[in-house]
Amino acid sequence: MTVLASGSPHTRLPIVILISGRGSNMHAIAERAACGDLPVEIRAVVSDKAEAAGLATAASMNIPTRSLSAREFADRASYDQALAALVESFQPRLVVLAGFMRILSPGFIAAFSDRILNIHPSLLPLYRGLHTHRRALEAGDALHGCSVHFVTEELDGGPLVIQAQVKVRPGDSESTLSARVQRQEHRIYSQAIDWFARGRLQLREQRAWLDGRPLHTPVIQAPLDDDPGNALD
């Protein structure tokens, strides 16, 4: 299907999803797209690891897959240049990072300026980087969660779009907390992508804009009872 413009009610936004592992967010996005709940066309799933389990998942859903290993390149800049060329070959209007575990270079980000989204498993600006669930537990936080943001050169520091909160329970481990946070990731990432695809969400003046207004703070999904069957408002 040819896409004429983001937000047109009769078209689907072409996207490319980047992964490094299982690709659970990719799978959730693909399922929603396949059933018509999300107005996107996944042109490809690309991984920096040929063995990434998410590639097999995508292939089973008839989504084109590609892998590109950094080991084949002399340095980060040359790898990111090749990665950008590969992604651009699918002509996406949005690049979706779904567990892609490489820090992207300024050159890659510039190639897709204003159209890269990422999901991060913390309530940013808390706990940028890795081991977010462990750090939340060690800090004794009452609330933890996840954030969708536009990607800029600042690691996990781009303009925030939407966050979901979960309550930290007594006795939580990294794995139990991670599982509940991940369910919320699947909710809010699809929501942010839907807004972008319908022309409601933009990155302008280094700030996220929703429905023509700047987001001074992210949209917040309040703590739930952690039932995975809860629908997004």
Q: Which position has the token pair 């800029």?
A: 152
- Alpha-carbon distance of 197 to 7, in angstroms, equals 5
Point out the annotated binding site for (6R)-10-formyltetrahydrofolate.
76, 101-104, 118
Listed by start position, the domains of the chain span 13-113, 120-226
- Alpha-carbon distance of 63 to 46, in angstroms, equals 10
- Alpha-carbon distance of 214 to 207, in angstroms, equals 7
The two domains 13-113 and 120-226 share their CATH topology (first three levels equal): yes
CATH node for 120-226:
3.40.50.170
Using a 10 angstrom Cβ sphere, with 0-12 exposed, 13-18 middle and 19 or more buried, the burial of residue 118 is buried
Q: What is the predicted pLDDT for the residue at 225?
A: 54
Q: What is the predicted pLDDT for the residue at 232?
A: 32
- Alpha-carbon distance of 221 to 180, in angstroms, equals 14
Q: What is the predicted pLDDT for the residue at 227?
A: 46
Q: What is the predicted pLDDT for the residue at 98?
A: 98
Instruction: State both tokens at 104.
Output: 């992207």
Task: Please name which of 49, 44, 24, 37 lies closest in space to residue 92, comparing C-alpha atoms.
Answer: 44
Burial 6-42 (b: 16+ CB within 10 A, else e): beeeebbbbbbbbbbbebbbbbbbbebbeeeebbbbb
Q: What is the predicted pLDDT for the residue at 197?
A: 98
What is the pTM (predicted TM-score) of this model? Answer: 0.91
* Domain 13-113, CATH homologous superfamily name and number: Formyl transferase, N-terminal domain (3.40.50.170)
Catalytic (active site) residue 216: no
Q: Which of 10, 27, 120, 133 is catalytic?
A: 120
Q: What is the predicted pLDDT for the residue at 207?
A: 96
Task: Please name which of 21, 30, 226 lies closest in space to residue 143, comparing C-alpha atoms.
Answer: 226
Point out the annotated binding site.
23-25, 76, 101-104, 118
Which residues of the chain register pLDDT less than 50? 1-9, 226-233
Q: What is the predicted pLDDT for the residue at 222?
A: 72
Contacts of 27 (CB under 8 A, 6+ apart): 54, 57
Q: What is the predicted pLDDT for the residue at 161?
A: 98
Direct distance between the N- and C-terminal alpha carbons of the chain, in angstroms, rounded to an integer: 29
- Alpha-carbon distance of 70 to 142, in angstroms, equals 39
Instruction: State both tokens at 192.
Output: 């942010």
Task: Please name which of 115, 107, 204, 118 lies closest in space to residue 156, comparing C-alpha atoms.
Answer: 118
